Amino acid sequence: MILESYILGKWIAGSGEGQSLYNAVNGEYIAAASTEGFDMATIMEYARTKGNTALRKMTFQERGLLLKALALHLQQYLPELYTLSYKTGATKADSWVDIEGGIGNLFSYASLRRKLPDLPYWPEGEAHMLGKAHTFMGHHLLLPKEGVAIHINAYNFPVWGMLEKIAVNFLAGVPAIVKPATVGCYLTQAVVKQIVASGIFPEGALQLLCGSTGNLLDLVNAQDTITFTGSAYTGLKLKTTPAIVQNNVSYTMEADSLNAIVLGNDVAPGMPEWDLFIKEVRKEMTLKCGQRCTGVRRILVPENKIEAVQQDISKALSQTIIGNPLHEKVRMGSLAGKTQKAEVLHQVQLLLQSSELVYGNLDTVEVMDADATAGAFMSPLLLRNNNPLHSPEVHAIEAFGPVSTLMPYHNLEEAIHITKLGKGSLVSTIVTASAETARNYVLGAGTHHGRILILNQQCGKENTGHGSPLPLLVHGGPGRAGGGEEMGGLRGLQHYMQRVAIQGSPDMLTAVLQQYQQGANGIAATVHPFKKYFEELRIGEQMITPSVTISHDLIDAFADLSGDHFYAHLRNTNFEGTMFTQQVAHGYLLLSLSAGLFVDSYEKNPVLLNYGIDELRFTKPVYPGTSMHVKFTCKEKISQERKEPTDIARGIVKWLVEMIDDTNELVGIATILTMVKKQKQ
């Protein structure tokens, strides 16, 4: 049976015999995977014309809500996904990281919509006034690329590997073609089947290739984005594909690396940090049977503590039950397949040229409720290298399984140097109770790592672990680790978007960006803006308020009411040598008076509440006798979804508040947020 791929809006099986797929636990045949006969050019064109066109028309809010709906939908199918995941050799804990961790990424990126505009594109950062007369300005704009995201994924996380990537490109407004590692693509296919069946995303938004990419990478252009997760060797080979090089295609690589965990010299047996260190090493060696790009490959320990560490790690590993992932007592399953096991053992032999095996067995492993010869099981292997400064193999060869090498260091500077010998890593962990040690390690090793975990007793229970990338933080690393970044919150979207600098008048930029730009002509409000429902408000709608005069009495009263008796706000202060010439108004008094000027009486209106302040600056001292008015402008609108059917339909409106004195100079500026009721309930 040939496993079907999802292309061109259909489930289609490739021709030929394909690559056989086997249960990693018992060796049983599952299916074969093939993309032979697929027209990759048509597949690419379908993604661009169908998926891209549909996604680009949606706003960030709409895309984010689709991600949320998808996450909720997939949660309904956890039992069947877990059942299938066991065939990859994954335990329940392994599968939780893969399946529910992947769904968690969807939720995280769905939530990020709240930080984005209710537009299909993203006006990025601040505007820049480019002329003294304030008639010429510039802004950066991020637009969804007109191509497709091609995701070539590793075999270790068939679900998370896909979901963590498509969450980002979907929110950015770009479709995806996913090529999972063939050995576990049947699990990825099961997830895609549920995504397709849900009908949540538009036609062409997602396609799946179960098998080879064929000539897919020969068809890319500058509007496409490629992400690769896997070995550094394969990643570099693909990166030099002529079409990628010639078209300057965005290529993000996340490669396996020689990640290190370092035990601080301040940590001794009996300390909480010691136990945390041992547990973290055991977890990183056994979770997913050590098949993680972020896994610990090098264990750096002060030379006077290496014997104790070796003894405790060996003891912890000996207590790890290996076998059938379906058995409740099993804590480590199998590798993804026998091919992967053979590769790991080959790499171990290369490492043993300069290291010795201090725990584990190369030939046999005791398993529970399974046949060790039928499945891809192997023993955890702890190696020791006593001379890491002169053993290049240990910093260059990765055995992608439950294998790690213990090595000594003399001082922190040497430990930092040893970590750098890996020539770039995804992650490193420093376990220490010393703030000085932590700071020196981060500042010394940070240039060679994509992420650093500082682990101590204080965060021990809540920390997410050395090997767990998080959606809001970058996942990637320099050098051997690939030189790329994935996720990283909003940063991740920029891989799928084109940044263009736009220049023009404030009026033109307001019209293009659909966000009011300071200095643009406003639309005179004929009725008070607070009397309007969300749908009725227009970007640029503006009200000029009456003036209020600041007096000594007002300043005194506000000081007494607020308790803010800072010397600058007192009448009898000697102002010589200060920034001021006399008593000055509180900035918050100006903001409070501004609210009194732009708020619409006490009549009930569509404004439900004040939601907060995004920006606030006081730009000029205001002295008694100064008059001030407010230019109050609708800056941006963001629709909100109902969380419950009984909720009031509403949206967030951002208002630009410009506080202007009687010389027509700005004394303060703020962006305030209100929650406004929609007319249509």
- CATH number of the 259-463 domain: 3.40.309.10
The tens digit of pLDDT for each residue in 165-183 reads: 999 999 999 999 999 999 9
| Residue 162: both structure tokens together | 């896909």
Question: Which tokens belong to 248?
Answer: 């300057």
Taking the C-alpha atoms of residue 594 and residue 633, their distance in angstroms, rounded to an integer, is 13
Distances (CA, A) of 434 to 211, 430, 446, 456, 465: 50, 10, 17, 9, 19
Nearest to 188 by CA among 214, 217, 151: 151
Q: What local confidence, expressed as pLDDT, does residue 645 receive?
A: 86
Mean pLDDT of the chain: 94
Q: Is 114 helix (H, G, I), strand (E, B) or coil?
A: helix
Question: Is 51 a residue whose pLDDT tops 90?
Answer: yes
* Annotation: CATH topology of 2-255+491-498: Aldehyde Dehydrogenase; Chain A, domain 1 (3.40.605)
From the list 254, 284, 541, 636, the catalytic residue is 254
Q: Which 8-state DSSP code applies to residue 234?
A: H
- pLDDT at residue 230 in the model: 86
- 300: number of Cβ within 10 Å: 26
pLDDT at 680: 87
pLDDT of residue 611: 86
254 is catalytic: yes
Task: Find the angle CA(609)-CA(612)-CA(614) to the nearest 5 degrees.
Answer: 145
Task: For residue range 648-666, list pLDDT tens digits in order.
Answer: 999 999 999 999 999 999 9
**344-370 per-position pLDDT tens digit:** 999 999 999 999 999 999 999 999 999
Which residue is listed with tokens 């804590």?
331
Give me the pLDDT at residue 235, please.
87
Q: Could you tell me the pTM of the whole model? A: 0.90
CB of 150 closer than 8 Å to CB of 225: yes
Identical fold for domains 2-255+491-498 and 522-677, yes or no, is no
Q: Rg (Cα) of the chain, in Å, rounded?
A: 30
Q: Is the pLDDT of residue 621 over 90?
A: yes
Among candidate residues 112, 96, 103, 108, the one with its CA nearest the CA of residue 73:
103
In this prediction, what percent of the chain has a pLDDT beyond 90? 89
pLDDT confidence of residue 117? 94
Whether the per-residue pLDDT at 238 is higher than 80: the answer is yes
Share of the chain above pLDDT 70, in %: 100
Q: Which H or E run contains 160? A: helix 160-172
The answer to whether 162 and 178 are in contact (CB under 8 A) is yes
CATH architecture type of domain 522-677: Roll (3.10)
Domain ranges for the chain, please list them: 2-255+491-498, 259-463, 522-677
Q: How confident is the model at residue 255 (pLDDT cuts 50, 70, 90)?
A: confident
For 545-577, the pLDDT digits (tens) are: 999 999 999 999 999 999 999 999 999 999 999
**Residue pointed to by tokens 């949660």:** 75
Two structure tokens written together for 555? 């300043």
2/15 Cα distance (integer angstroms): 8
Lowest mean pLDDT among 8-22, 44-58, 505-519, 592-606: 592-606
What integer is the mean pLDDT of 567-592? 93
pLDDT of residue 602: 67
SS3 for 12-34, per residue?
EECCCCCEEEECCCCCCEEEEEC
Residues 614-638, mean pLDDT to the nearest whole number: 95
Q: Is the pLDDT of residue 643 over 90?
A: no
**By mean pLDDT, which of 65-69, 373-377, 401-405 is the weakest?**
373-377
pLDDT value of residue 133: 87
Q: How far is CA 154 from the centre of its chain?
A: 18
96 pLDDT more than 70: yes
Given pLDDT bands bounded at 50, 70 and 90, which one contains residue 508?
A: very high
What is residue 681's predicted lDDT score, i.e. its pLDDT? 86
From the candidates 164, 293, 634, 636, give the one annotated as an active-site residue: 293
